[in-house]
Chain A
Amino acid sequence: MIIYLLSFILFCLGIYCILRKRNIIKIIVGIIITEYAVNLFFILSAYRIEGRAPIYSAEAEILNMVDPLPHALVLTSIVIGLATTALLVAIAMRIYEKYGTFDITQIRELKG
C-alpha cells in the first residue's frame, strides 16, 4: 500500500509538471516521468513475496514465479514510450526553429 502510494506520488509529480510548466521541454520531462510511474506501478503489482524471475531453469524447480503478464505489457509500453518521446522532441525542435522559443505562451500564431 505504501509502496503503491510512493509510485503514485511520482505520477502526481509528472502530472503537475505537465499542467503547470510553460517550457515545452519541461512538459516532455513531465510526460516521461508519468510514463515511468505507470510502468513502475505495473511491475509493482506483479511482484510476489520471495518470488523468482519467470525463467525456467534446468537444474532447479522454481515454484514461486512473479507474474509474467505485466512484464510483457510493460516491455511493450517502454518501447512505445521511446517512440512517442522521439516524436515529441522532433515537434518541439520544429517549434523552436519556427518561433525561436520553447515557451508555450509566446507561441501565438495559431491563437484566436
Chain B
Amino acid sequence: MMGLYILLIFMIVGAIIAIEVKDMLSSVIAVGAVGLGLSIVFLILKAPDVAITQLVVEILCLIILIRATLRKDLPFSTTGRWVFNTFITSVFMIVFFLVAVKCFKDLPEFGFPLMRVARTYIEHGKALTGSTNLVTSVILDFRAYDTLGEATILFTAVIAVLTIVRKIGRKKVDMPDEESDE
C-alpha cells in the first residue's frame, strides 16, 4: 500500500511540473509520465484490463500532443489582471476543496466498496455470459449499450477530426499534414 502513496505523490509532482514548466514539449512529456504512473497504479489496484488500455491510450495521446507542439513558437504572455485572476482561481479551488473534504467523509472507506450491483455480476456472471473475465462480461454483455454509445462517440470524433484537418474546400492550402487516428 505504500507504493500506492508514493506513485500518487509522483503523479502530483509530475502534474505540477506539467502545469508550471514554460517549455511546451517538456510539459507534454511530464503529462506522459503522469499517465504511465497512472497505468502502474491501475496495475497495483488489480485492474489489469484498465492498465493495458491506459498504456496504449497514453502513448497515442502523447504522439498526438507532440505532433501538435513540435516546431511551434509559443509566446508566453503574462499581461492582464494577473493578481486578480490568480486570486479568484485560488478562492474557487479552496472552496471546492473544502466542500469535497466534507463529501469524502460520507463515502465508504477505502478498501471496503459497497458492491451492491457487482455482487450479482460476480455471482451469476460466469453462468450467464460464459466469460471468465468479469470486466469483459460487463462491457460486452450486461452493459453492451454503453459500449455502443462509446463506439458512436469514437466514430463521431474521428469524423470531426477529419472534417477539421482536411484540405479540400479551404481557400489557402499551406498546412502541414495532420494525424487522423482515433
Contact = CB atoms under 8 A, between A and B. Distances in A.
Given A5-B101, A47-B46, A84-B157, A75 B139 contact: yes
Nearest to A12: B93
Interface string A1-31: 1111111111011111101111101101110
Interface in B77-132: 77, 79-80, 85-86, 89, 92-93, 96-97, 100-101, 104-105, 107-113, 115, 117-118, 121-122, 125-126, 132
A37 to B, nearest CB: 9
B12 A10 contact: yes
11 contacts: A5-B104, A7-B8, A10-B15, A33-B18, A47-B111, A48-B115, A56-B134, A68-B121, A68-B125, A80-B150, A80-B153
Q: What secondary structure prevails in chain A residues at the interface with B?
A: helix
A4 B57 contact: no
A33 B15 contact: yes
Contacts of A68: 118, 121-122, 125, 134-135, 137-138
Interface residues of B, number: 91
Contact of A52 (B35, B46, B97, B161): B46
Interface residues of A, number: 79
Contacts of B158: 83, 86
Residue of B46, B75, B89 most packed against chain A (CB within 10 A): B46
A3 B4 CA distance: 9
B164 A82 contact: no
Interface string A53-95: 1111100000001111101111110111111111101111110
Interface in B130-167: 132-135, 137-139, 143, 146-147, 150, 153-154, 157-158, 160-161, 164-165
Interface in B26-83: 27-28, 31, 34-35, 38, 41-42, 45-50, 53-54, 57, 60-61, 64-65, 67-69, 72, 74-77, 79-80
Contact of A12 (B11, B97, B109): B97
B164 to A, nearest CB: 5
